[in-house]
A and B are shown apart, each in its own frame.
Chain A
Amino acid sequence: MSMLDVQKVTKNFGSLVAVQEVSLRVEPGELRAVIGPNGAGKTTFFNMISGFFPPSSGHIVFDGADVTALPAHKRVTIGMARTFQITEIFPDLSVHENVLSAVEVAAGRRLRLWNTKSDAARDEQTVAETLTMVGLSAKANRLVGELAHGDQRATEIAMALALRPRLLLLDEPTAGMGDQETYEITNLIRRLHRENQYTIVLIEHDMRVVFHLADRISVLDQGRLLAEGTPAEIAANEAVQAAYLGKAA
């Protein structure tokens, strides 16, 4: 069974059709990239998958369950976590507190007025493991608002990981980053995919990142699915070259 099965979703904003009958199947353990020129509908498509708003028509099935009408905070509890194109963090809290918030919510303790010692110890362990995974252990007590952009993005990814997702949705993880930061985040995503076996769907602008990372690529253009295949197939696809790569070259 597919991890994520998006069936012919369409999204209208008034008379504007942002996404038109796009389908997508992601298998467990796969890293899928969604690419396309500006205005292709990538972010709209992504917002429907993560539950930011529902599609106008079509269905979204996650791990066998229809989640089309499920609001965002409930999708999180069944194992979908996302990050944002513009880094969304808690700037005035430390890295540790950012991740701890996510850990406590994921453990179903968001309404608790106290923590037992064993709960607190387990949370600390999870926070420490997650921070090690993204390489932020040394910066645990820094305020996230004071960190470099790449570290903020890593914090955001750590928060998503702390929710123990089965599907990780990354919206342009390297947006606005320099070469060094892009390299580090790309390595992090590759590690999460190869070593930790996360199933990942990511939107990306940077072609080097996409062709480095993805198992399969879906190309959107003007709201429609233009092509789908392995990086090699996509690179050889003439329609894609005309619509996208051709223009870039």
Chain B
Amino acid sequence: MSSVIAATASVQRSAQRRWLPVAVIWLALVTVPVWFPLLGGYNALAGSVLVFGLAAMGLNLLLGFTGVLSFGHAAYFGLGAYGAGLMLKYVAASTPLAMLAGTLFGGLAGTLFGLVIVRRRGVYFAMCTIAFGQIFYYIAYKWNDFTGGFDGLRGFHREPIGIGALTLDITDEQPFLFLSEGFRFYYFTLAMFTIAVVLMGLLVRSPFGRTLRAIRENERRARFLGIPVERHIWLSFSVSCFFTALAGTLYALLNNFADPLALHYTQSGYFVIMAVLGGMRSFWGPLLGAAVFWVLKDFLSSALPEEWMAFLGVIFVLAVLFFPRGMLGMLKRRSAE
């Protein structure tokens, strides 16, 4: 009986420990337009952190929670961005339709491609994902008339969203009271991010999520528990691509622009760096990684337009050497001890 009480108490304590950092993260995110400009930031930068954080968290469902490395997630991010941009430019001036089109475009491409490669493992899997991603990069790069080629896709912009009689204006750049300019689209991005992250959280805690971690930990054991491993990796890949594609649509809306570099494998590498830097075994790690990555990039690239990547590289190497579980992984270990 006493052991039951002790166990309950420890569950409550660990629930508290989980709850507090999450509350801090959400509070910080909701108040960004107030405090971020005071530190020299701006809302579009915070929006970028959310967008790339969402993409990296999507990738991390595969990388951190299933144990499968994709070096081609820029493909689905970029397809999301181009899908949204092309929809706005050529078909219908509607933000929700653009987001739907981009998300489906990137997500379904990933789902189909995943079907082909789930039997590959490790380096072979990663190489296949790079190769597939580069196909789309070259299409976007070469098809000048349709995609804008190297200069990127321009000539579209995000549209106000009508909900019944209400109109949600996400295009306006004016500040309002204590909220700095660009806060409207930031909050829109945050709302989309929130929906996606809640879905991801449910997925990670579900029985399905547990089978993914089982596969990550030991594929052979997972198979002998009765889990069809290939099918589950495929599902994980597909879901991961849908989230990354959704982030891609937000990227296009944020910048009113989609560029071929969003499809390039260097971008895929950035996603992996963000996830590893922040901590790929933790749910929020990739968001923290994205925040560090983007804020540093923004800060360094204005002073050192060519060399910023070298600095980021050094920081990445140091982080991997000294915090092999990423920054959040390190913090968690500290607090556990």
Binding site for B on A (CB under 8 A): 50, 72-74, 76-77, 81-82, 84, 88-93, 97, 100-102, 104-106, 109-115, 137-138, 140-141, 156, 159, 163
Contacts and interface: CB of A to CB of B under 8 A. Distances in A.
Contacts of B207: 104-105, 109-112, 115
Nearest to A119: B207
B206 interface: yes
Interface residues of B, number: 26
A93 B213 contact: yes
Main secondary structure of the interface of B (DSSP, over half): helix
Interface string B205-226: 0111011011001101101111
Contacts of B211: 101, 104-105, 110
A236 to B, nearest CB: 37
A104 B214 CA distance: 12
Contacts of B225: 73, 76, 101-102, 105-106, 159, 163
A84 B220 contact: yes
Given A76-B226, A112-B207, A90 B214 contact: yes
Q: Which of B10, B221, B229 lies at the interface centre, i.e. has the most chain A CB atoms within 10 A of its CB?
A: B221
Nearest to B199: A113
A97 B228 contact: no
Interface of B: 3, 7, 10, 202-203, 206-208, 210-211, 213-214, 217-218, 220-221, 223-229, 232, 235, 281
Contacts of B223: 72-73
Q: Which of B202, B217, B227, B281 lies at the interface centre, i.e. has the most chain A CB atoms within 10 A of its CB?
A: B217
A113 B208 contact: yes
A101 B226 contact: no
A100 B210 contact: yes
16 contacts: A77-B226, A88-B221, A93-B217, A97-B213, A100-B210, A102-B225, A105-B225, A105-B226, A106-B225, A112-B206, A113-B206, A113-B208, A114-B202, A114-B206, A141-B7, A159-B221
Nearest to B228: A73
A106 B228 CA distance: 13
